[in-house]
Amino acid sequence: MTAIYEDRALADKAVEKLRVYAQPQRLMILSCLLRGGRTVGEIEAATGIGQPALSQQLAELRRADMVVTRRAAKQVHYDLADEGVGLCVRSMEAIFAGAATTGELLAAALGSETPSARRVSAGTGVAAFAKIG
């Protein structure tokens, strides 16, 4: 993998992609789609973005190859184009929602829980010990 500082073309490509993420409505749409594919009406209801603006932002996301569409009867369903888009959105959510540690940040970005989060969510309140030897 080439580091961005080593390749100006790669840096330019990254900046262009980041410009797409840098618009609040587009980021909200991508975050919504992170939870699964949605129709335009479902995206509108979840995000509160009205139809004219929503259609415009979805078109921008299609042009940037960040969402894909499929038609089912009269409705168009939108979904994230690839796992890279999902990883970027999950990372931003973790960073800006206040992940406390690097481990929590990575777990959130990768869509998994840390071992401590799994223990807490289990809710047993019981200590577990391993027998050694």
Phi (first) and psi of residue 78, to 5 degrees = -110, 145
pLDDT digit string, tens, across residues 65-118: 999 999 988 899 999 999 999 999 998 988 888 766 767 777 766 776 544 443
| In the chain, where the domains are located | 4-83
Which residues does 57 contact at the CB level (< 8 Å), separation at least 6? 23, 25, 26, 29, 49
Name the pLDDT band for 122 (thresholds 50, 70, 90).
Answer: very low
pLDDT digits (tens, 9 = 90+) for 17-58: 999 999 999 999 999 999 999 999 999 999 999 999 999 999
4-83, CATH topology level: Arc Repressor Mutant, subunit A (1.10.10)
Q: pTM of the prediction?
A: 0.76
